[in-house]
Structure formats: C-alpha cells, structure tokens
Amino acid sequence: MHALRKNRPLRRVVLASATTVSAVVLLLSLKPHTSPSLALGASAQAPRGGASAPASSGASPAPGDSSAPGGAPATGGAAKTATGETVQTRWGPVQVRVTVKGGRLTEVTALQYPTENPRDQEINSYALPQLRREALAAQSAQIDMVSGATYTSTGYRQSLQSALDQVHG
C-alpha cells in the first residue's frame, strides 16, 4: 500500500505528460474546418497511456530529456520537461513540450506546427494559446466536467470540456 502510494505521483507525471502531449498533438492535427466526427474519432482513440493513438510516437518523451521516466519523484521537486518526438500529422509536422512541476502540468509549448500557408498561421495564432490555456486551466482546477451555456459540436472542439476529455482520455 505504502509502495503503491509512493509510486503514484511519478506514474501520474508520466501519464500526464504522455496523454497531454498526445492530446495536444491530436488537437493540433485538427483544423477548425475538419468535421466534428473526425475530431471525435481522433479523441476517442487517445489512449490512457498514449500507447496506441495515431500520434503515439509523439506521446512518449524523447529519451534524452530530463523527463519523468526514471526521474526523481515530482512532488515538490523541480520542474520536469518532456519533449515529444516530431509527429507527422496530415497537416504537417507537430512537436510539443510539456512541463510538469509537483505532479502538475505547468506549461504546454508547441515547438513545431504547420505553418505552410497563411490559413495555418491564422488558425495557429488563436488555437495554440487557447489550447494551452485550457489544458492548464482544466488541470489546475482539478475538475471532472465543465458546465457552460450550450456547446454546439463545433464549440465543443475548442472548449475546456474537450481539453479535459483529451487530457484525461
């Protein structure tokens, strides 16, 4: 029991990093004009440990990083950073970095994302900050669900509830 307890924070850190990286990659690989069903199809496949999602190669932290696996327990410790591998999405390469401190997600940064055309850049200019903010808000408030004025399917994709479903998914 004690050993299990002790291991939990570490495992959480790994899971948080892995699922968040994959969730972020999944979200980045969706453009606002893709159909909601496509978006959901992708999110439904986001696995608990980031093991078999389409973006799974990006879900595991890169070996050379000072990240969670094998690292010191994160409780109260220094910030740990995990950088995902570059993942080829249908829109272009995506790479993200997450920072976890004290078992909590504290930063999400997109290192690489599609910028081929002006539309990509326009989408990224609002999608990336929003995604980052929502992933952080959901996690820091430790909430399970979100109540808000009726989400349409389109609205859902950019909502806190969606970020929550994916971070936990």
Binding site for other proteins (CB under 8 A): 36-37, 40, 43-44, 48, 130, 133-134, 137-138, 141-153, 155-156, 158-162, 164-165, 168-169
Least Å distance, CB 78 to other proteins, is: 26
CA distance 167 to 47: 10
Least Å distance, CB 32 to other proteins, is: 14
Strand pairing class (80-83; 92-101): antiparallel
Helix or strand run (H / E) with residue 72 = none
CA angle at residue 152 from 18 to 125, to 5 degrees?
A: 55
Closer residue to other proteins (CB): 62 or 137: 137
Least Å distance, CB 56 to other proteins, is: 18
Strand pairing class (92-101; 104-112): antiparallel
Closer residue to other proteins (CB): 119 or 133: 133
Closer residue to other proteins (CB): 31 or 86: 31
DSSP designation for 149: S
CA distance 27 to 94: 10
Least Å distance, CB 11 to other proteins, is: 11
Closer residue to other proteins (CB): 30 or 83: 30
Least Å distance, CB 86 to other proteins, is: 27
Closer residue to other proteins (CB): 76 or 147: 147
51 CB neighbour count, 10 Å cutoff: 11
Helix/strand/coil for 59: helix
